[in-house]
Amino acid sequence: MPETLKTIIVNTSINGRAYKATIEPRLTLADFLRHEVNLKGTHLGCEHGVCGACTVLLDGLSARSCLILAVQAEGIEINTVESLESNGELGILQESFWEEHGLQCGFCTPGILMSLTELLRNNQNPAEVEIRSVLSGHLCRCTGYQNIVTATLAAAEKLKRNKT
């Protein structure tokens, strides 16, 4: 007779909303977000932490959700790409990606947006080299990155204008 899998209760906050769930200890955060919470914006690419498609913010810091167990999110604030919009309106970074053609197929875009959100939160005047450094942790097979850099610089300008 097979052993029954133990379950664990996890309490976390996702995009500002409290969640309490009973999960298997081996469930990744990416699978938790996609299958238990039904947030499909976090994409799974390589499932080895290399491609960056599954990047989310944990207490404001970029993290690969495919490498983290959901139980490790106990008491942590998680932000996914869904947190960037407000009342159905695109966030500034998303809007700039749209305007500057910073995406093509869109598979890598959610992870890139989350890493760039962290960058812009900490530095509203990033140099191109800083943006490219953040992008070095993401694989995009479509864009060549230039329009992503341009979109990020445009978003930084919008953020500066909104601040004044």
Give the CB-side neighbour count of residue 104, counting CA atoms within 13 A: 9
Q: What is the mean pLDDT of residues 38-61?
A: 96
> Of 61, 83, 105, at which residue does a domain stop?
83
Measured CA to CA, the distance from residue 29 to residue 69 in angstroms comes to 5
Whether 29 and 58 map to the same domain: the answer is yes
Mean pLDDT, rounded, for 29-53: 96
Give residue-wise pLDDT tens across range 99-150. Answer: 999 998 999 999 999 999 999 999 999 999 999 999 999 999 888 899 999 9
Domain assignment present for residue 44? The answer is: yes
Instruction: Give yes or no for a contact between 96 and 154, defined as CB atoms under 8 angstroms apart.
Output: yes
The count of domains in the chain is: 2
CB 32 within 8 A of CB 58: no
Position 3 in a domain: no
Note the pTM of the prediction, 2 decimals: 0.93
Q: Which CATH number belongs to the domain containing residue 19 in this structure?
A: 3.10.20.30
Q: Band the pLDDT of 3: cuts 50, 70, 90.
A: low
Do both 158 and 91 map to the same domain?
yes
Measured between alpha carbons, how far is 150 from 71 in angstroms, rounded to an integer? 37
Q: Tens of pLDDT along 68-84? A: 999 999 999 999 999 99
Question: Could you give the CA distance from residue 22 to residue 103 in angstroms, rounded to a whole number?
Answer: 36
For residues 130 and 71, state if they share a domain: no
Quick check: 31 and 23 in contact, CB under 8 A?
A: no
Give the range of the structural domain holding residue 62, as residue numbers without chain letter: 8-83
